Amino acid sequence: MLCKIKKYLPWLAVLLWMILIFYLSHQSAVESAEVSTGLLDKIFALFGNIIDHNTLRKLAHAFEYFMLCLLIFNALWRTTKKQKMKISSISLASCLIYAISDEIHQIFIPGRAGRVFDVGVDMAGAVLGLVFCLLVLFIFSKFHSDKTQKEL
């Protein structure tokens, strides 16, 4: 029973992250601005005036999809045959579809708009997430192969 639950935990993380993205996208422009302004105020208090409001919002877009790609890649890696290229392609395609649907969703939210540029920012984050996953796998495989050779 525990093994079956463990198998679905990575997918639960993907689902919860997608719900978070949807929730944040469902905020009106005023609500969204209040959230990012509040976060920006905290950043300014810690580090000084190092970033403008628009840059923070774009970084947030990229981070959302960095994490989404990482979570999808992880879920696929743990629950399918470990084929890096196929998992990489599916992860990026899933992020692209979700980013497009997210921007379409925002068209119907007061004060928000669907922007192709934001899909590009989302995908830049997703690509960085994928690179991070592949880098971790590369490092792990090097460490694992070095350890195996030392045992021989």
* Cα angle for residues 32, 121, 48 (degrees, 5° grid): 60
Whole-model pTM: value is 0.85
pLDDT of residue 17: 96
Model confidence over 107-134: pLDDT tens digits? 998 888 889 999 999 999 999 999 999 9
**Angle subtended by helix axes 84-107 and 53-79, to nearest 10:** 140
Stretch 10-15: mean pLDDT, rounded?
Answer: 96
pLDDT of residue 48: 67
User: 19 Cβ partners below 8 Å, 6+ apart?
Assistant: none
Nearest Cα to 73, choosing from 16, 5, 129?
Answer: 129
Length of the chain: 152
Residue 87 CB neighbours (<10 A): 22
- Residue 96: both structure tokens together: 């692209």
